[in-house]
Structure 1
Amino acid sequence: MTALLKNVTNCIWYAFDSLQNNDVVHKSKLKVLTANIGTLLDLYGVEKGLDHFRSSQELTFDEFKYYLQHEVFSSLPKTVTLPIIREYEKKISEVCWLVCRKRLLFRDKSVFGDDSVFKLFRIFCLLADLVQDADDTNRYVVVLHPSEAGIVAEQLVHCLGLRWDAADWEALGSSIGHFKWAAFLAVLEAKYCCDQQLHSLALIEAVDEIYDVFIEDIIKKGYLLKRGYLLPTMREYWCVLQPCALTYYKSSSQKEQCGRIVIDEYCSVEASAGDGKIQRFQLITPDRTFEFGTQDHKSRLQWISSLRQATAVSGGAEGYQRRARAGRRGAGARREKEARETKARLQHEVRARLAAEAQAQELAELCEQDNKKLEELRNAQIELEKLLQEETQAKRDEEIVRALQARVLAEEWERREELERLQEEQNRMLEEERMKRKQFEILQAEKEAQYKEAAQRLKDLEDEKQRLDAELKAAQEKISKTELTAHALHVQLRDLSPALRNGERARRAVSFVPTTKSSSDTLIDIKAIRHSKVIDNNENV
């Protein structure tokens, strides 16, 4: 509910100002004020957060306002009707008034009663602005624009039945400037309500009247004749018109409410034919059509105009007077801007006229000097033409030189490109040579490995050859021994008898021939194996 906090900020500032000491207030005092505001809003325990808010025990008004916005008013529903907002504003204003009333009621000579002063205080807070003090930028002050204060004073004067002097108020406003509360109340009491003939009840009624206009947003009130819903008779009621509703009571005391008609942008008002004594008009709502009447034509026109105005300003969650104040501020700002622009434009025109006159005089004085300098300028022109021709020739020469430089630069670029191309080719050839060298190294390593492997195999073959030679030699020795043995046996056989020799020869021939043949075959096999191994070793090498 940012709008609610914005509406009651001025009242809260006055309560804060009554508690502060050197622009700060202790948290213990602010907890009481926060608890009262929270109770009015049906929020309990909102003051407990002040203990943990900020590290210091004292808060400035900006810090306290920040706490109220984020910890108190943010807990309210976002969509609240205008009557509820108005009721919240009234309760919070009363709490703040209890805190600061003693300070704000103090004055030398009082004219208004305390209740009237409270109502004027609410009107002042409604129309005033919270701004930084010109003398102390860390301090705030609530001030009322002279035009807004003039509207309140004019309403009060009209309600008292006095004559309003706009020129006198304009002079007073220009001399005082922006009104603070004390100056505003002193001007109303001392200038417009100091007449001894004014009764206290008249002052109370006048304050109540302007309170209804500014705070309650009452556009118009008075007696009206209303046609009943069941019976067609016209009955008189005291009617109070606000932007959101038309409420009617039994009497002007407004104690017994008889009904309430909601007014919105979908309502319309139309005049209807009367019977000569009663001037009738109709209020048409989406649910029902209401018929009213007045005793004269003028009153009917006033009520029709007021009802149409109420339907036009019924929308929105902000009060009619607040919107009207914003509109006046906008119009005033535009008028001030236009006035400043007009004043600046007039000043500019005066300065321009004076400057033109001075310039004309200077031109008249310079005219003679120009005539004298004209001849000098002609001579200078001739010299400049010569210099121009020389400069033109120099530019032509410069262009020729630049063309030559461009051609040389182009050739240099071509050469540079050719060098870069050659460098790239050289780098490519170096890379290829490096790759070939790397491959050659790999191949050489493989050949060395094969060479080492072949050398090892040759060594193994030589060892095997030596072993086979040894075995062959042993076999040859064995064969030699066998041949010697065979030869000895042949000699012995020759010495035996022929028969025995023949029989024994036949028997031995059967047993000896395989033995001899086996020895020969063995020798041949050994030689063949040795020969094959030698061939295999030679092939491997």
Structure 2
Amino acid sequence: MAHLLKNLTNSIWHAFHALQADATNTVAKSKLKVLTANIGTLMDLYGVEKGLEHYRSTQSLTFDQYIYYLQKEVFSSVTDATSVQTLKTMEEGVDEICWLVCKKIYLERSHSVFNDHSVYQLFRIYCLLAETDSDATDSYLVIMHGDEVARIASHLVMSLGLQWDAADFSALSVAIGTFRFPTFLAVLESKYSGGNTLDVMALSEAIDDLYQIYIENVVKKGYLMKKGFLLPTLRYFWFILRPGELTYYKDPQQKEPSGLILLNANCWADTVTNGGKPDRRFVLSTPEHRCIELMAEDHKGRLQWLAALQTAIQHSSEKIGYQRSLANQRRSLRQAIKQEKEETKLELQHERQARIAAEIQARKLETLSKEEGAKVQQLEDVKQKLELLLQEEKQALRDEEIVRSLQARVLREEWEKREQLERLQQEQQELLEMEKMKRMEFEQMQKQNEQQLQNAELRLQHLEAEREHLDTELRTAREKVKRAEEAQFLLEAQIVTRPLRGSERIRRTQSFIPTTKERPLSIEKIDSRSMTIQKNI
């Protein structure tokens, strides 16, 4: 069964730790073979240690590897059909083997108070209540929680008749931190064993009482009166109640029990009334013994025994062990509380962060509110300005309407003026056309005048040439006249000087008088012709 190896893991770890030769957290296979052979012999398995030679290729194993080998090769032979008593015997035998391996380390103490057997009993109690943890190197550590140490120490102190100081132990637990077995043993011996005032026998009885409660799962023990089966008389017996069984002895020193009552889920305990009044008696009903009548010393004892019987009946079918089950519950509760504290711590951190964030957000919001207030004031100012601008715009719109009406009127007037201008432009265009026509006519007339002028100039030139020719002829004629006059004068002079004959005088006279064709123009005619040319020019 898997829980058997789980119950023995702590004691096997102590043996494994005692076999370590260095700080590598490994043990040589040769040493583990001896431990494995002893465990296998206890469980009627022979030769299981030989498999270590072929298990992994290394010469040493870590604790995890060794536990895995035990689970697969040794404890796999334990099945669910194995009885609870057999499991208890195996567990006790393996614890004794592991104690033989590691006891030398724990029994060598400078100031020993407990005897060796008591130390062994405390060792088994420690392995029952301790839990595994890992250190910085990820190796196993078997430690006991401070609450469990306080439970054992307080029970030991009260069993010795001393006073328990919870506050002092809390301070001590905080100072120590983790309780390994040497620390656990040293704390009990040095602080909670009563020192030299108590004898060894009292300490042994107190530790034996602890051993019975935690290892042997004794729920309750004490004297009860039992009614016999054959003779209905009440006799005192020493009863020891465990989950699943109620054993009674003639006295506490008796080794063999006088009787054994098996308990299961079909059993129950109930009170007995005496005429409607509470009685010290109670009845235990079982399928085998029918009804067993018991009687406590007082009413308080009766109630305690009834509660203890109910607990023993409820846990009668458990194979894990009553105290181990309670220890697991306390461990689960501590883990839950630790997780809750961590969650609470995380929640507090989150709340602190949220509060800081909220404060920052509040400051931001305050800043934003101030900024918003300033913006609102600015917006109010802007609003007032906008209202003024709106009024001005409305006034401007009204003015614009007036201006638009004026512009419309001006536009109409401009259209009218434009129409007038267009008419004037058209008239001007017409005038320009007329002017253009007149200009063209004038140009034509000017061309004609120029042509006429050119013709006149040509004629003038011709007339000039003609005038020059006429002037030349005039000069020539004047010279001829002059010569004629001179000749006439000479002739007259000659005539005066000698008389001619008539015929000769006539010839001479005719020879000097020009003919009509050769007669030059008179000066008056020439002058009149030059005047006419000048007029034409």
- TM-score, with length taken from structure 2: 0.66
Q: Which amino acid letter does the alignment assign opposite residue 222 of structure 2?
A: G
Shift of 1:273: 3.7
Aligned pairs for 1:488-507 within 5 A:
none
* Distance (Å, rounded) in 2 between the aligned partners of 1:351 and 1:32: 58
* Distance (Å, rounded) in 1 between the aligned partners of 2:348 and 2:55: 55
* Equivalent in the alignment of 1:247: 247
Q: Is the 8 A contact 2:273 2:279 kept in 1?
A: no
* Distance (Å, rounded) in 1 between the aligned partners of 2:16 and 2:340: 38
Shift of 1:324: 0.5
* Distance (Å, rounded) in 1 between the aligned partners of 2:338 and 2:7: 25
* Equivalent in the alignment of 1:120: 122
* Distance (Å, rounded) in 1 between the aligned partners of 2:176 and 2:343: 25
Aligned pairs for 1:12-23 within 5 A:
12-21=12-21, 22-23=24-25
**Matched residues, number:** 379
* Equivalent in the alignment of 2:42: 40
Q: Is the 8 A contact 1:274 1:280 kept in 2?
A: no
2:258 aligns to what SS in structure 1? strand
Aligned pairs for 1:522-537 within 5 A:
none
Shift of 1:29: 1.6
Shift of 1:348: 4.1
Shift of 1:230: 1.8
* Equivalent in the alignment of 1:285: 286
2:109 aligns to what SS in structure 1? coil
Q: Which amino acid letter does the alignment assign opposite residue 179 of structure 1?
A: F
Shift of 1:201: 0.8
% same residue: 49
2:79 is aligned with 1:77: yes
Q: Which amino acid letter does the alignment assign opposite residue 81 of structure 1?
A: S
* Distance (Å, rounded) in 1 between the aligned partners of 2:87 and 2:342: 38
1:279 aligns to what SS in structure 2? strand
Q: Is the 8 A contact 1:145 1:178 kept in 2?
A: yes
2:179 aligns to what SS in structure 1? coil
* Equivalent in the alignment of 2:310: 308
Q: Is the 8 A contact 1:82 1:319 kept in 2?
A: no
* Equivalent in the alignment of 1:269: 269
* Equivalent in the alignment of 2:142: 142
* Distance (Å, rounded) in 2 between the aligned partners of 1:165 and 1:201: 24
* Distance (Å, rounded) in 1 between the aligned partners of 2:370 and 2:71: 76
Q: Which amino acid letter does the alignment assign opposite residue 75 of structure 2?
A: F
1:247 aligns to what SS in structure 2? strand
* Distance (Å, rounded) in 2 between the aligned partners of 1:326 and 1:97: 23
* Distance (Å, rounded) in 1 between the aligned partners of 2:27 and 2:84: 32
* Equivalent in the alignment of 2:260: 260
- Identify the match of residue 52 of structure 1 among 40, 51, 54: 54
* Distance (Å, rounded) in 2 between the aligned partners of 1:106 and 1:183: 13
* Distance (Å, rounded) in 1 between the aligned partners of 2:144 and 2:324: 14
Shift of 1:193: 1.2
Shift of 1:110: 0.6
* Equivalent in the alignment of 2:174: 174
Residues 110 and 372 of structure 1, relative CA distance in 2, 3 Å threshold:
same
Q: Which amino acid letter does the alignment assign opposite residue 199 of structure 1?
A: D
* Distance (Å, rounded) in 1 between the aligned partners of 2:154 and 2:363: 55
1:129-167: CA deviations, max 9, x gaps? Answer: 122222x22x32111111111111111111111111222
Shift of 1:61: 1.5
Q: Is the 8 A contact 1:246 1:261 kept in 2?
A: yes
* Distance (Å, rounded) in 2 between the aligned partners of 1:222 and 1:28: 49
2:74 aligns to what SS in structure 1? helix
2:92 is aligned with 1:90: yes
Q: Which amino acid letter does the alignment assign opposite residue 239 of structure 1?
A: F
| Between 8-17 and 349-358, the greater mean CA deviation after superposition | 349-358
* Distance (Å, rounded) in 2 between the aligned partners of 1:121 and 1:237: 31
Q: Is the 8 A contact 2:272 2:278 kept in 1?
A: no
Q: Is the 8 A contact 2:26 2:63 kept in 1?
A: yes
Residues 13 and 347 of structure 1, relative CA distance in 2, 3 Å threshold:
closer
Aligned pairs for 1:312-461 within 5 A:
312-373=314-375
* Distance (Å, rounded) in 1 between the aligned partners of 2:64 and 2:361: 56
Larger Rg: 2
* Distance (Å, rounded) in 1 between the aligned partners of 2:341 and 2:25: 37
1:87 aligns to what SS in structure 2? helix
Unaligned runs of 5+ in 1: 383-541
Residues 278 and 359 of structure 1, relative CA distance in 2, 3 Å threshold:
closer
1:241 aligns to what SS in structure 2? strand
* Distance (Å, rounded) in 1 between the aligned partners of 2:25 and 2:368: 65
* Distance (Å, rounded) in 1 between the aligned partners of 2:41 and 2:131: 27
Q: Which amino acid letter does the alignment assign opposite residue 258 of structure 1?
A: S
* Equivalent in the alignment of 1:427: none
Shift of 1:278: 8.1
* Distance (Å, rounded) in 2 between the aligned partners of 1:222 and 1:118: 25
1:62 aligns to what SS in structure 2? helix
Unaligned runs of 5+ in 2: 387-537
* Distance (Å, rounded) in 2 between the aligned partners of 1:274 and 1:294: 15
Residues 56 and 289 of structure 1, relative CA distance in 2, 3 Å threshold:
same
* Equivalent in the alignment of 2:193: 193
* Distance (Å, rounded) in 2 between the aligned partners of 1:325 and 1:208: 19
* Distance (Å, rounded) in 2 between the aligned partners of 1:363 and 1:77: 69
Q: Which amino acid letter does the alignment assign opposite residue 35 of structure 1?
A: A
Q: Is the 8 A contact 1:18 1:100 kept in 2?
A: yes
Shift of 1:361: 3.6
1:225 aligns to what SS in structure 2? strand
